[in-house]
Every structure is written in structure tokens, then in C-alpha cells.
Structure 1
Amino acid sequence: MAGAARRGGPGPRPLLWLVLLGVAAASLVGAQVTSETKEVPENKPADIPCSAYRSSWSNPRIEWKFQKGSSLVLFYYGGELTEPYKNRVQFSPTTIHFNTVTREDTGKYICEVVGDGSHIAKSEVNLIVQVPPSKPVAHVPTSATIGSKAVLRCTETDGSPPPTFRWYKDSMLMPANPKTSLTFRNSSYTLDPVTGELIFEPLSGFDTGDYYCEAMNNVGSPQKSDVIHMEASEVNVGGIVAAVVVLLMVLALVAFGIWFAYSRGFFSKRKE
């Protein structure tokens, strides 16, 4: 019987933790909350303070949670660190210490302290693990029609905090507003440094050139993409007209051939 009880014991623990998370969240409504942001380079140690801790409180209960996006997990509960933090983190009432941090540790660390009676305090630390940007990818059409809309994109997936972007044409930095530059005043474009989009609307002949983008986040060196040539060209109206004329001539020749064959009785002879 004891063995059966031991085997069944771990089963409800995840459910119990969810219940405890919900109860704790409800009890902390109205509690004093402090918040701060901390940036630490990747693979370096980091200390996350618990500003909510009060040394004057007797036998406070301390809990840590880690939030990343919509995910919320218990970090320190019941007097012990949870997996996978046991071998990476040291706990003290005022601080949790990471031996080293990785980009996966970026997120919000929530310290909740419950003292005797109704004493409740909560502190949050937004940890940003600094990661330099990798080489970005420039998405540039190799050809586009003058007068149309052309969209160029720059993407990068590793940088933390997320990088901002700059664009270069023929090795010259493109300003956010082309009308402020003698070099680019004949172009009509918008440039979003956050999304990395460069939109020409309308595209002009002046926009032909070699383009590349650059990603930077003040961590490490800015990274540049490969250079891609974009050719802005007029619609070939003469070529289109010539193609239509040739097509009409071919159709006329086919029609004449069919008429000529009928007039000579070729199709009637084949039927006999």
C-alpha cells in the first residue's frame, strides 16, 4: 500500500502547482509591486534582486516565478529551486544568482514575499540577455517596374535586444527622410528601422542600385547583409505592341491557311 501511495504521489503535482499559482496571483492583488530592467551579456553571471524582501518580516515565504511570453513557471517554491535551475542558480532571500545566463533566460522574474498576517510584497525584474546580432538577410527584388511599389526587407533572428536596421544604396547610408539628402531627394521611400522595411512608392529610375542592410543593437559590432542589385526599368510598351502585332499576324496566317485548304477542297477529299 505504501508503495502504491508513493507511485501515485507525483501525479497531481503539476495540477497542484497550477492551483498554487492561481491562489498566489489572487492573493497578490493590491500588493505593492516594484519593477526594474536588467541587461546582462550572454554567458556572463547575473544577480536578480528580490526587492520585495523585508528583513523585518518574521519567517517570510518567498516564491520565484519566471514568465516568458504567455508561459509562467515556478522557479523557486517550497524552499527549493525547480528543474532545470538547481544546477545553475544559487538562492538567497534577497537574490538569485545565475552562474551564467543564455539567451533562453531572457524574460520576467517575479519574486513574491508573504509575511505574517496580510503582509504581501512583489517585485519584478525584466532580464534582457544581450546577444549581438547575426548576419542579416536582405530581401531585395532584382528587378522592378518604374512607377510601381517595391518592398525591401531586412531580417535577423538572434540579436537581443532586437536590433534596429539601416539601409545602404551604393555604399551610402540612406536617411530616414530622402528629401533631406541631395543624393536621395529624387527617391520616394519610407524606411522603418524597427521592422527593417524599405518601401519605394512609386519606384523611380534613380532607385536602381546595389542595396544591403545593417543590423545593430549596441551589443557587439553591427552586421551587414550581402549586396543585391535592384534594376528599376520602364514598362517595354514597344515590345508589348510588337508582340501583339506578331501574334495577330500568326493568327491571320493560320486563318488564311485554313480558308485556303477548304477552298481547294482539301478537307472534303480527306473525308472521302
Structure 2
Amino acid sequence: MEGTFLYLPFVILLMQCSPSVPVTVSTNKHKVEVEEFSDAELSCTFRTEKDRNPRIEWKKKGKDVSFVYFDGHFRGPFEGRATIEGATVTLQKVTQEDAGEYRCEISAPFDSVSLGETNVTLKVLVPPQIPSCEIPSGAVTGSVVQLRCRDQQSIPPATYSWFKDNQQIHPPRHANATYLINSLTGILEFKAVAKEDTGRYSCLATNGVGLPKMCEGKHMTIEDVNVSAVVAAVVVVCLVVVICGCGGFLLHRNGFFSPGHRGRSNVNYIPPPQEPQDFKHTQSFML
């Protein structure tokens, strides 16, 4: 017992001489990812040296730094849709406008270091929407055909899979394949379509957030080139050219386009006879 009392003054001295820790601020999660329209927790914890009532502020970085929480109240678009516990903020029903970088600031004027801060980045995830699909209704064999699929709203960007008659079209395994699939751009390209490529095509978009979405299927028909129709059209065009050429030659041969032919209509021109009244008037003038 007496030994304990002997050590007590040394313990008190050590406690008084131990260095105090100035204000420190930290977070347990620097990057927060939540789905759109759900709640997001932005954590912020702090420890002060002396100040027991530090000032807590939250700001959002952008083109301009704006206040989220200041002077004990939420500001701007966060008013009425955010709560704070300690220094940790919870944003309710976040949207894309809430995404960005946030900063938690703790001011302790009585500490040797009076300001501490930490940053939290919020990313708002958007599940796939029904993609827009460009699928031609028809094409001829041997032609190059592209089918396009795109979802502009999903975050992170969606990847795409193509289906023919409800069966997935897998990426080709060799370089000589007749088609190519780009899962990032959503393009299905046929180097030279064949009749067996006829079918109903659809595209599925997925990004790991929410449920995948598929566009409505559309039927694409591949037909052979109508050689007979092409030959007949060429023959008709050739006949028209020959007939026009022969007609022009005959007209030119008969002098239709010569200057003399254009002026013949005026060779036998006879002026109209004068009226009797005009003749009498002239005769009386001579007298």
C-alpha cells in the first residue's frame, strides 16, 4: 500500500508531461458508392486537444465550393433531406446531382492546431435503362451490316450482349468468324451476312447495378440479290440510251439542229395587207 503511494506522484507527473494530441479528423470510408434514390452516409470522426465544442462544417467541392452543413444547419438543396450525428452526415434519396467530393472540417480554436479536415467522394450508381437498339429490317446477302445497342444513362457504363431468337450470340473464338461483337460499344457487325442470319435480334444491357434491361426484339430478313431484276434494269437503261442516241443522230442528219433549218420559217414571210381605210388616207395625203 505504501509502495502505491510512492509511485502515485510519478504517474501524475507523467500524465501532465505527456504531449496532448491536437484536433484530428478522419473518415472510415473515403469513397462511398450508393444506388440512386437510396441514402448515403458520409462518415466523419474527430478528436480535439482541449476544445470540447468544436465547430463542424461540411462543404461540397465543384466549380465553386458550397456549404452543405454550416452553423448548425443544412444549406441549399440539402435542407430537409439530410441528418447529422456527431460529425457524420446522412444524405437521403441521393441523385446524380449529389455525386461529387465532400469535405468535413472541424475547427477547434483552443487547440494548438485549430483546423482539421477529411474528404469523402460520393458516387451515385444508376442501373441500366432499356437500351436503344438499331436493327435493320432487311439486307442482301454478302453485305456488311451493323446492329447497334446503347444505354446513355447507366453508371457505371453498361456492357452489352446480343441475342438471336432468344439465344445469346457468343463472341467469336477465331479470327475468321463472319461477325464481331463489341460488348463495350454494343455493336454487332456482320462482315458478310448470309440467309441463315435471318432472325429476331435483341440486346441486353447490364452494369452490375439493379436488374439488366433488354430492348424489344426486331426481325431482320436477309435475302439474295435478284440477279434477274438487276439484269433487266441494265438492259432497259441501255435500250433507252441507244434509242435516245439514234433519235438524236437522225434529227441531226436531217438538219433539224442546223442554223438554216431554224431560219427557214421566215423565208416566205408575207406582210399582212393594209386596211382600205389606211390606203385612202394615204391617197388623200398625196393629193
TM-score, normalised to structure 1, is 0.67
CA contact (8 A) 1:178 1:189 kept: yes
Query: C-alpha distance in 2, partners of 1:209/1:114?
Result: 67
Deviation of 1:265 (Å): 4.8
1:1-272 alignment to 2 at 5 Å?
Answer: 35-40=30-35, 42=37, 44-50=38-44, 53-57=45-49, 58=51, 60-67=54-61, 73-113=66-106, 115=108, 116=111, 117=113, 120-129=116-125, 131-144=126-139, 146=141, 148-175=143-170, 177-179=171-173, 186-192=177-183, 194-200=184-190, 202-205=191-194, 206-232=196-222, 239-240=229-230, 242-265=232-255, 268=261, 272=265
CA-based RMSD: 3.5
Give unpaired runs (5+ residues) of structure 1. Answer: 1-30
Deviation string for 1:178-235 (max 9, x for gaps)?
238xxxx85321322x3323233x2331433321111233444322111123344566
Q: Is the 1:65–1:76 Cα contact (8 Å) retained in structure 2?
A: yes
Question: Unaligned regions of 5+ residues in structure 2, if any?
Answer: 1-24, 266-287
Contact residue 109 and residue 127 of structure 1 kept, 8 A = no
Equivalent position SS for 2:245: helix
Contact 2:179 2:188 in 1 (8 A): no
Query: Matches of 1:124 and 1:159 in 2, distance apart?
Result: 22
**Offset of residue 94 of structure 1:** 2.6
SS of the counterpart of 1:84?
Answer: helix
Q: Is the 1:144–1:232 Cα contact (8 Å) retained in structure 2?
A: yes
The number of equivalent residue pairs is: 230
Task: Quote the offset at 1:84 in angstroms.
Answer: 1.6
Name the SS for the 1:256 alignment partner: helix
C-alpha change, 1:67 and 1:166, in structure 2 (3 Å) is farther
Preserved contact between residue 36 and residue 96 of structure 2 (Cα < 8 Å) = no
In the other structure, the counterpart of 1:18 is: none
* In structure 2, C-alpha distance between the alignment counterparts of 1:148 and 1:140, rounded to whole Å: 15
